[in-house]
Amino acid sequence: MDIATTLAAVSSAKDFASFIIGRKIDTAVTERAIELQNSIIALQSGLLEMQVQIQAMSTRNRELELLLSAAEDWKAEDDRHQLISVAKGVHVVTPKAIATDPRTPVWYCANCWQKHFKSVLQRRHQDYGGTSYYCPNCEAKVYDHSDPAEV
């Protein structure tokens, strides 16, 4: 039996108790009917409170399902990528499918990746010491010494 049906049954019982109280019967029966009516009112209040709690739990459950789905989606995305070292002390995240080429066209900021955010490193400039990249999200700077400008 769901809560709405239960509330309807409790309401009917309350109405019946009110009917008994209004009848001309002995005092003992009237007192018991009043006790019954008070118990029914308390039960009705409890059921309404439970209904509010169930609604709140359903809302929280939906929120948690969305969080779980987002975490699963990120895990799948993370599994398709890997951290590579493009130069000594220089690490970037790149798709596994093309990670064998260190000059892959897509490099993600490792710092942002740890925070579950995909931020593509932007090439800033190239000089004889290497190529400079920066992250537009966290403003991290990556300097790839393995890619100097050619003379």
* pLDDT band of 8, cuts 50, 70, 90: confident
Torsion, Cα of 44, 49, 50, 53 (10° steps)? 170
CB 34, CB 19: distance < 8 Å: no
Tell me the pLDDT tens digit for each residue of 35-76. 888 888 888 888 889 999 999 999 999 999 999 999 999 999
Distance CA(102)–CA(73), nearest Å, equals 26
* Model confidence at 103: pLDDT above 70: no
- Do residues 146 and 86 touch, judged by C-beta distance below 8 A? yes
- The pLDDT value recorded for residue 100 is 60
pLDDT tens, position by position, 132-151: 899 999 999 988 877 666 65
Q: Give the range with max mean pLDDT: 41-45, 98-102, 117-121.
A: 117-121
Of residues 151 and 27, the one with the higher pLDDT is 27
Stated as kind and residue range, the H or E segment containing 93 is strand 90-95
Listed range (16-20, 35-39, 56-60, 82-86) with the worst mean pLDDT: 16-20
pTM: 0.61
The arithmetic mean of pLDDT across residues 108-135, rounded, is 90
* Top-confidence range, 26-40, 47-61, 81-95, 104-118: 47-61
Q: Is 68 or 129 the better-scoring residue by pLDDT?
A: 68
Burial of 126 (0-12, 13-18, 19+ CB in 10 A): middle
Cα–Cα distances (Å) from 9 to 13, 15, 50, 52, in that order, read: 6, 10, 16, 19
Give pLDDT, residue 147.
66
Signed CA dihedral, 27, 33, 39, 44: sign only: negative
Report the distance separating Cα 31 and Cα 12, nearest Å.
Answer: 19
